[in-house]
Amino acid sequence: AGAELAPGSHASKAVSNAYSAFEVAFLDLQARSMNLPLVDLLGGAIRERIPFSAYLFFKYAQHIDTPYPPDNWGEALNEEQIVAQARRMIEAYGFKSIKLKAGALE
């Protein structure tokens, strides 16, 4: 009943994902045509600020078998490297909450 487009991505989700992209674009156009912020078109802001979490995961320094260069965060393959990245995120961005994605690299 549908094939995987990429690891973890199923074809059955492709239509709703594509629809969402158009829906948001058209809502934005509607708001602009009315000279309103999109949030007002959707009913108004509920809060002024939204706290969110940093997201950490075990990773290699660069993508394997791809031409992409290493990112500036470096590898995170053990507890010490994960903690170092968490500290760096807290210092740089002020995160108060950090989510660690569990899983295997292989």
CA–CA dist 39, 47 (Å, integer):
11
**pLDDT tens readout for residues 68-106:** 888 888 899 999 999 999 999 999 999 999 999 877 666
Quote the distance between the C-alpha of residue 18 and its chain's center.
17
If you average pLDDT over residues 30-49, what whole number do you get?
96
Name the average pLDDT for the chain.
Answer: 86
**Strands (DSSP E) along the chain, which ranges?**
4-6, 9-10, 54-57, 98-101
**What is the pLDDT at residue 69?**
82
Q: What percent of the chain clears pLDDT 70, i.e. is strictly above it?
A: 87
CA–CA dist 69, 79 (Å, integer):
24
Burial letters 4-39, b for 16+ CB under 10 A, else e: eeeeeeeeeeeeeeeeeeeeeeeeeeebeeeeeeee
Q: What is the model's pTM? A: 0.55
